[in-house]
Amino acid sequence: MSLHHPTVAIVGATGAVGSELMTCLESRDFPLERLRLFASGRSAGRKLLFRGQGIAVEELNEDGFPGVDIALFSAGGAVSRRFAPIAVRQGTVVVDNSSAFRMEPGVPLVVPEVNPDAITRHIGIVANPNCVAIVAVVPLWPLHRHTRIRRVIAATYQAASGAGAAAMEELRASTAAYLRGAEYQHRVLAHPYAFNLFSHDTRVDPTSGYNEEETKVMRELRKIMDEPELRIGVTCVRVPVLRAHSIALTVEFERPIAPEQAREVLTCAPGVRIVDDAAENHFPMPIEASGQDDVLVGRIRRDASDPSGCSLALFVAGDQLLKGAALNAVQIAERLVA
């Protein structure tokens, strides 16, 4: 597909990711002819600034997509399941940020640094992966190409941004209340958030013991990397950080690999920035990853539990709202118009 100066729509324009989508389109000088903004009826008429002009938000409805070439969806799975097929039937290519279509056999699940060619196989919908899967796979993929990965163990430190703007505000408000010694009734997340962390509050499968977030990450990594038998274990934890997810990764390879080799590979990898200063104890932090396009990678070291030398441990951090969501979607759209 090749489009020149397309009409682009953002579905869910008033949300946290919707705002970042607008910022990414503007900062990357995306070659669009017109931008349309869709949200729920309560936001209709509100104006959002883009390239110095106010654009009125339209109420999302089934007749809104004729003339739209690319629609960037970020309004949740229920909205995507209802409206994305309608948009496709009206001639729109959908880049969907929800989990609605990620594991559908005919829908490419794309991280442009990893599998950009998959975009050409779309039949109307291209899926944006889970934010943790994106942040993890950007450094895992170049290592996998250098020395094949056999197994990945991950523990996540997931920010409020992963649960949306309301969760970010709940973290701010509950922290302020805690510091005042005041009571705060949490409403967005399942547990008190200020000065606390808890297992990602998605449903736990009683058979496997893994929650839905963990299962998504494992399945999506296998699909993105085209490694259906890759052994993966994940523990997902929500931490009181506003934005940018961090992940501790232990990676087992088919052959021995030295930390110096991994560092050299990652230094040249697209979308990666090495932050690995042992002398200053300076490694990836969410506060430094926030607002950055790259995934920060550090703590690159041998896994002391594997005497074979085939395993490494590393720590990564990436902005969930950018590379973990909006930026990745815009990069996909850039490939659509290339």
* One-character DSSP codes across 94-132: EEE-SSSSTT-TTS-B--TTT-GGGGGG-SSEEEPPPHH
Check if the beta carbon of residue 230 is closer than 8 Å to that of residue 218. Answer: no
Taking residue 329's Cβ as centre, other Cβ atoms within 10 Å add up to 26
- Whether 133-320 and 7-128+325-337 are alike in CATH topology: the answer is no
Could you say which of 24, 122, 131, 236 is catalytic?
A: 131
Strands (E), 168-323: 198-199, 231-235, 237-238, 245-253, 272-274, 295-302, 311-318
Going by pLDDT thresholds of 50, 70 and 90, the confidence category of residue 4 is confident
**Can you give the residue ranges of every domain in the chain?**
7-128+325-337, 133-320
Could you say which of 122, 144, 200, 245 is catalytic?
A: 245
- Cα(265)–Cα(144) distance, rounded to whole angstroms? 10
The class that CATH gives domain 7-128+325-337 is alpha beta
Residues 6+ apart with CB under 8 A from 68: 7, 8, 9, 36, 87, 90, 91, 92
| 245 assigned to active site | yes
Residues 6+ apart with CB under 8 A from 297: 139, 266, 272, 273, 274, 275, 276, 284, 314, 315, 316
Task: Say what the pLDDT of residue 298 is.
Answer: 98
* Longest CA span, the chain: 62
Average pLDDT, the chain: 96
Task: Say what the pLDDT of residue 196 is.
Answer: 98
Tens digit of pLDDT for each residue in 69-121?
999 999 999 999 999 999 999 999 999 999 999 999 999 999 999 999 999 99
Task: Say what the pLDDT of residue 1 is.
Answer: 46
Nearest one of 254, 215, 256, 255 to 235, comparing CA atoms: 215
Chain Cα centroid distance, residue 150: 23
111-332-17-189 Cα dihedral, nearest 10 degrees: -30
Residues 6+ apart with CB under 8 A from 78: none
Residue 338 has pLDDT above 90, yes or no: no
- Cα(141)–Cα(255) distance, rounded to whole angstroms? 16
- Cα(85)–Cα(106) distance, rounded to whole angstroms? 13
Task: Calculate mean pLDDT across residues 315-320.
Answer: 98
Tens digit of pLDDT for each residue in 168-181?
999 999 999 999 99
Task: Say what the pLDDT of residue 144 is.
Answer: 98
Task: Say what the pLDDT of residue 122 is.
Answer: 96
CATH topology assigned to domain 133-320? Dihydrodipicolinate Reductase; domain 2 (3.30.360)
Tens digit of pLDDT for each residue in 148-158?
999 999 999 99
Nearest one of 99, 91, 66 to 223, comparing CA atoms: 99
Query: pLDDT over 90 for what percent of the chain?
Result: 96
Tens digit of pLDDT for each residue in 200-217?
999 999 999 999 999 999
DSSP lists the bridge partners of residue 211 as: 204
Task: Say what the pLDDT of residue 5 is.
Answer: 87
Residue 6 has pLDDT above 70, yes or no: yes
Q: Please, what is the end-to-end C-alpha distance for the chain in angstroms?
A: 8
Check if the beta carbon of residue 163 is closer than 8 Å to that of residue 237. Answer: no
